[in-house]
């Protein structure tokens, strides 16, 4: 993709997986680096994390060789952070490549074809290899779950108890859409609460899961300190629990729908320049709303329902505290939610 963006421009491509390229950069001093990038407007280094002490080399190029615009990429966020984060603090812009967004998928294959695959995407997810190899989803997800979900984290983070991380990931996978208690997971896995917190933080840094905290404004009965945890990709989540069955025989369709929508919203919020805070809302009396957004002190509430005929009521306590900007997101209007459309209420029955 980056090569396509640089097409027509004078650029140098170096690959950290290539022994010659890697050695060239590792052994280069400042003058060597100046000679390497001379004459190029852009320098693109792929798999940058493979290069020893690469952060300092990049810092030299950025600080002392102004004519070259530097672009680096890698297959693991943990790898890249470990390799370049400290030397490049304040000198870099980060871009995160999530699994394919629904809008990209729809643009590529068309609206009708994408709609026909909606149920499949809830099961198999949105990773490029999965989308490009229909029929081979199990094999690809199995490989992704083994090499991406576990191997990179174990290799790069000095995990002392890999079996504990595996159990925590499975516990989180079963709890998507529900409040997550670190104490409960700790008791289930047999470790302390801090270990659970540390491992979940690591999973976030690896872009496997993301957290969402509860919304509160000091009103009585509001739950203040709980969180939900979602997976960036439904396919990874389903492979973790070993369930790639069809929707009609599953008991977790609502959870899959919620995780899919939250992951897509997360992708959209990285693209659109909105100062939005994301939460869920719940009270001690079990009143709840799946998703709440706060933007410029305005509160928007959303409820997710796979069954588009099911009626939903806005809790009275929420309406009295925050207003009635409330939308039910179902199969008939989810594209507006994912694409950040300002028109949320068209054709939606709100009671």
Does one domain contain both 218 and 317? yes
pLDDT given for residue 148 in this prediction? 66
Does one domain contain both 146 and 209? yes
The DSSP line for 29-80 is -HHHHHHHHTT-SEEEEESGGGSTTHHHHHHHHHHH-TT-EEEE--S-HHHH
Domain count, the chain: 2
- Residue 133: how many CB atoms within 10 A of its CB? 12
- Crossing angle, helix 182-189 and helix 193-205, to 10 degrees? 110
pTM of the shown model: 0.83
- Give 344's pLDDT tier (boundaries 50, 70, 90): very low
Does one domain contain both 135 and 106? yes
CATH code where residue 21 lies: 3.40.50.300
Domain span holding position 134: 102-338
Does one domain contain both 168 and 204? yes
- The reply to whether 72 falls in a domain is yes
Does one domain contain both 238 and 192? yes
Does one domain contain both 193 and 60? no
More confident residue, 148 or 247: 247
Residue 145 has pLDDT above 90, yes or no: no
- The reply to whether 217 falls in a domain is yes
Residue 348 has pLDDT above 70, yes or no: no
- Give 84's pLDDT tier (boundaries 50, 70, 90): low
pLDDT in tens, 162-215: 788 889 999 999 999 899 999 999 999 999 999 899 889 888 888 899 999 999
pLDDT given for residue 1 in this prediction? 67
Does one domain contain both 159 and 262? yes
Residue 349 has pLDDT above 60, yes or no: no
Does one domain contain both 25 and 166? no
- The reply to whether 345 falls in a domain is no
CA distance 69 to 250: 50
Does one domain contain both 143 and 266? yes
Does one domain contain both 143 and 66? no
pLDDT given for residue 169 in this prediction? 93
- The reply to whether 92 falls in a domain is no
Average pLDDT, the chain: 86
More confident residue, 118 or 66: 118
CATH code where residue 326 lies: 1.10.10.10
Does one domain contain both 327 and 258? yes
pLDDT given for residue 117 in this prediction? 97
pLDDT given for residue 87 in this prediction? 58
pLDDT in tens, 228-245: 999 999 999 999 999 999
pLDDT given for residue 347 in this prediction? 37
- The reply to whether 93 falls in a domain is no
Residue where one domain finishes, among candidates 16, 51, 84: 84
Residue 96 has pLDDT above 60, yes or no: yes
Residue where one domain finishes, among candidates 84, 117, 148: 84
Residue where one domain finishes, among candidates 29, 56, 84: 84
- Residue 13: how many CB atoms within 10 A of its CB? 16
Does one domain contain both 57 and 108? no
């Amino acid at each position: 993709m980056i090569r396509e963006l640089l097409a027509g421009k004078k650029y140098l491509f170096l690959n950290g997986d290539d022994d010659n390229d890697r050695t060239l950069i590792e052994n280069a001093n400042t003058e060597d680096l100046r000679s390497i990038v001379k004459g190029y407007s852009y320098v693109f280094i792929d798999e940058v994390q493979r290069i020893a002490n690469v952060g300092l080399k990049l810092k030299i190029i950025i600080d002392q060789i102004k004519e070259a615009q530097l672009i680096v990429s890698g297959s693991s966020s943990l790898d890249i952070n470990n390799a370049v984060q400290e030397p490049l603090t304040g000198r870099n812009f980060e871009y995160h490549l999530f699994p394919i967004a629904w809008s990209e998928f729809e643009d590529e294959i068309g609206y009708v074809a994408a709609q026909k695959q909606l149920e499949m995407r809830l099961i198999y997810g949105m990773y490029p290899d999965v989308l490009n190899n229909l029929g081979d989803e199990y094999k690809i997800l199995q490989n992704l779950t083994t090499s991406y979900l576990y191997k990179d984290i174990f290799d790069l983070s000095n995990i002392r108890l890999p079996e504990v991380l595996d159990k925590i990931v499975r516990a989180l996978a079963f709890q998507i859409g529900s409040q997550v208690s670190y104490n409960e997971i700790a008791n289930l896995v047999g470790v302390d609460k801090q270990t659970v917190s540390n491992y979940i933080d690591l999973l976030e840094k690896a872009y496997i899961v993301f957290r969402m905290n509860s919304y509160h404004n000091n009103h009585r009965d509001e739950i203040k300190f709980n969180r939900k945890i979602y997976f960036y990709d439904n396919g990874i989540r389903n492979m973790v629990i070993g369930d790639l069955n069809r929707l009609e025989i599953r008991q977790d369709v609502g959870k899959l729908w919620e995780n899919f929508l939250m992951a897509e919203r997360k992708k959209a919020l990285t693209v659109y320049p909105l100062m939005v805070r994301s939460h869920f809302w719940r009270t001690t009396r079990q009143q709840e709303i799946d998703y709440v957004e706060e933007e410029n002190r305005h509160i928007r509430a959303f409820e997710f329902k796979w069954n588009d005929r099911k009626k939903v009521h806005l809790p009275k306590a929420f309406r009295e505290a925050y207003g009635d900007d409330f939308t039910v997101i179902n199969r008939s209007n989810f594209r507006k939610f994912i694409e950040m459309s300002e028109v949320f209420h068209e054709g939606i029955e709100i009671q």
